Amino acid sequence: MRAIFDARQWQHDPKHFMANGVIKPSPEQPERITRLTHGATAAGCDFVAPKDAGLGPIAALHSPEYVTFLRNIYARWQHIDGAGAEVIPNIHPASRRDNYPKSAVGQAGYHQVDTACPIGAGTWEAAYWSAQTAVTGADMLAAGERAAYALCRPPGHHAFGDLAGGFCFLNNAGIAAERLRTRGLRAAILDVDVHHGNGTQGIFYDRDDVLTVSIHADPARFYPFFWGHADERGVGRGTGYNLNLPLARGTGDDAYLKTLDIALERVANFGADVVVVALGLDAYEGDPFQGLAITTPGFGRIGAAIAGLGLPTLFVQEGGYLCKELGQNLTSVLTGFEGA
Ligand SMILES: [Zn+2]
């Protein structure tokens, strides 16, 4: 299948990640690109660069003040006496209804939900091209391609309309789904990352025109904690158009695939024309996050099950962190899909 990637996505190189009170190197390393490129190429993908569709598709989901913040905050941060090399918040509003400050520190707290989305010199450029990669993938499907793989990095599914978090800045899968909708296609987002796609849920929570389904490790004891529970079904018109399928920590292939069947049945009942797969590979048994226990052949079964929908499919890269099998797991999903 066709694959999309832009070299400017290398420019985001986060240094800080805080876990359990300890500052560590970020798991969202640029090296992931090398592994994922090898994995996609081994599955027979041909890479092309994305077209530049401009800010329009990004602004369709993200607020003007948030986009301005992402574009400018790194330069503003440098004017703070003694500031560190990355924008990392140290204070947060208690609710989204609280006032919006003028201060760079205050705005960082407003727009960055956690410490896992540091903003450095190349973050905006990389996030912008990661989003364009998803948009070009959506346009390929709208033009009649059966499937495409968007190597989006940084990932996107933890980004809300005005909020970065969990290594994510722009919601690439959501941007692709909205782009498909504007092309007259009914899109469902199926999120198989080990973490709940809270940003995607938040963006579409009150809408019935894009279905959001997520299978993930139970947030009662796993990031992102505050979202991803089974009783979050949508609000207003969106009621019933968000489906969360949390799984116990350590769930393996067979139980996962049974749950995937429930997700796929919902996508089919929605009457989707196209499916956007938020493709995290961090449900892997050897992933550093250790949430679920999918095997490398299990990813092939996941790909094959998704192909069973018989729908044009855009794979949008989400998580999946440095381990020896990262590339193989991607190969497994894509070959499983194509072979089905
Ligand atoms: Zn993840």
- Summarised one tens digit per residue, pLDDT across range 154-168 is 999 999 999 999 999
**Residue 23 is assigned to a structural domain of this protein:** yes
In a domain, 263, yes or no: yes
d(CA 340, CA 335): 8
Give 228-237 pLDDT, tens digit per residue.
Answer: 999 999 999 9
What is the model's pLDDT at position 308?
98
Residue at 175 is within a domain: yes
Task: Answer whether 144's CB lies under 8 Å from 180's CB.
Answer: no
Structural domain count, the chain:
1
What's the gap in Å between 282 CA and the centre of ligand 1? 6
Q: Which residues are catalytic?
A: 158
Burial of 107-128, coded b for 16+ CB within 10 Å and e otherwise, reads bbbbbbbbbbbbbbebbbbbbb
Range of the domain at 37: 2-63+122-339
What is the whole-number distance in angstroms between the Cα of residue 17 and the centre of ligand 1? Answer: 14
Query: Residue 58 belongs to what H/E stretch?
Result: helix 56-59
Query: From the CA atom positions of the chain, what is the Rg in Å?
Result: 18
**76 alpha carbon, distance to own chain's centre:** 27
- 313-317 vs 187-191, strand pairing mode: unpaired
123 φ, ψ (degrees, to nearest 5): -65, -45
User: What is the 224 CA–ligand 1 centroid distance (Å)?
Assistant: 9
Enumerate the β-bridge partners of residue 47.
3
Distance from Cα 215 to the centre of ligand 1, integer Å: 11
Sequence-separated (6 or more) residues with CB below 8 Å from residue 307: 313, 336, 337, 338, 340
DSSP string, 176-198: HHHHHHHTT--EEEEE-SSS--H
Is 319 a domain residue? Answer: yes
Q: Is residue 233 part of a domain?
A: yes
- Output DSSP code: residue 208: S
The answer to the question of residue 69 being in a domain is no
CA atoms within 13 A on the CB side of 43: 30
Contact assessment for residue 96 and residue 113, using Cβ atoms and an 8 Å cutoff: no
pLDDT of residue 1: 96
Position 107 in a domain: no
The per-residue pLDDT for 40 is: 98
Distances (CA, A) of 199 to 62, 83, 159, 191, 306: 11, 28, 4, 11, 22
- State the pLDDT at residue 35: 98
Beta-carbon contacts of residue 38 (< 8 Å; ≥ 6 apart): 327
Flag residues of the chain having pLDDT under 70. none
* 218 CA to centre of ligand 1 in angstroms: 13
Q: Where are the beta strands (DSSP E) in 13-63?
A: 17-19, 22-24, 46-48
- Residue 91 lies inside a defined structural domain of this protein: no
* Structural tokens at position 171: 């919601």
Query: How does strand 147-150 pair with strand 17-19?
Result: unpaired
Write the CATH number for 40.
Answer: 3.40.800.20
Neighbours of ion ligand 1 (CB under 5 A): 193, 195, 280, 282, 319
- Separation of 80 CA from ligand 1 center, angstroms? 32
Alpha helices (runs of H) in 219-252, residue ranges in sequence order: none
Q: Identify each DSSP E strand in 122-253 by its residue range.
A: 147-150, 187-191, 210-217, 242-247
